[in-house]
Amino acid sequence: MTFELASQRADLDRLLKGRAGPGPTAVVMTMGALHDGHASLIRAARAHAGPAGFVVVTVFVNPLQFGAGEDLDRYPRTLDADLRVAEKAGADAVFAPSVDEVYPSGAPQVRIAAGPMGERLEGASRPGHFDGMLTVVAKLLHLTRPDVAFFGRKDAQQLALIRRMVRDLNFPCEIVGVPTVREDDGLALSSRNRYLSRPERRTALALSAALFAARDRLGAQHALRARAESEPVTGARAAALSALGETRAAADTHAVAAACDPAAAARPPGADAVRAAAGLVLAEAARAVPPLTLDYLALVDPADFTEVPDDHAGEAILAVAAKVGATRLIDNITLTFGVPK
């Protein structure tokens, strides 16, 4: 099938009805300014749909999810380049409607409410953002009628809310999360990265560095715990472990306690130490020139995005949001603590 662009609902309907193969329809929703992170979503959709399937990429800068003072007007619009990226990555069509096409009667009076999870973290920083996001996602799901939709895990709270909406409102669509794509220096790919000056970009690397420091701290805690469990239970065990070169992990009070206390060793490494490791990196970045201004650092339950306790076991998402200059960036990683209860 020839790659095509549709800008009106009627054109999209024609493409969907005239698709050649019997395979699934997959959609990738974007706001344009496509980069390799978006391309990875399109490639994943293509692989899932197969040669007999149909892959649609939507390009729409949704005004409902931008608040007062946010970057709606300066958000990059690069449709010609986006078409090249989408076609190369394997899309069959791009649906790039105007605002009037998506909202023909103006701003909709009836919208999707994100609920309590939509009021936390990103929702607290950007009131109404998730209501606007879910409203346009619901409309685009109706318009594209996919069997499966692909979204990036970098927007972890968005992904969780879309999954919840699809489940709660019985959309006949599977939602698939695709891993975050990073640049060589660790910075998560984002359309907003282009706003960063060179000095601002150096400071912005603290977001991913903080997440990686937390991940390393958790790994060190797990390593020391495993070492502790393999040693005889004696009062001198913590000192022996420290002498083995596990100095960073041995400095963790929970892990050292586990080395001497079998009951403590049965508990998972603490979430608070992981938060602290990330916080140290971000605190240093706040003193950089230019500085990083932290919005939030949170270690949350993937189910509802509430903070996890220190003794949490199982998966948790470590999420960060900050401004460098005028550019707001987000990032996250998934961590696993101990063995789920």
Residue that wins the pLDDT comparison between 321 and 248:
321
Q: What is the pLDDT of residue 237?
A: 56
Mind telling me the catalytic residues?
38
Residue 223 pLDDT class (50, 70, 90 cuts): confident
Q: What is the pLDDT of residues 82-130, one digit of tens each?
A: 999 999 999 999 999 999 999 999 999 999 999 999 999 999 999 999 9
Candidates 180, 146, 185, 147; CA nearest to 41 is 180
Q: What is the pLDDT of residues 244-300, one digit of tens each?
A: 554 444 445 444 444 444 454 445 568 999 999 999 999 999 999 999 999 999 999
Q: What is the pLDDT of residue 256?
A: 47
Residue 341 pLDDT class (50, 70, 90 cuts): very low
Q: What is the pLDDT of residues 171-213, one digit of tens each?
A: 999 999 999 999 999 999 999 999 999 999 999 999 999 999 9
Candidates 134, 131, 123; CA nearest to 163 is 134
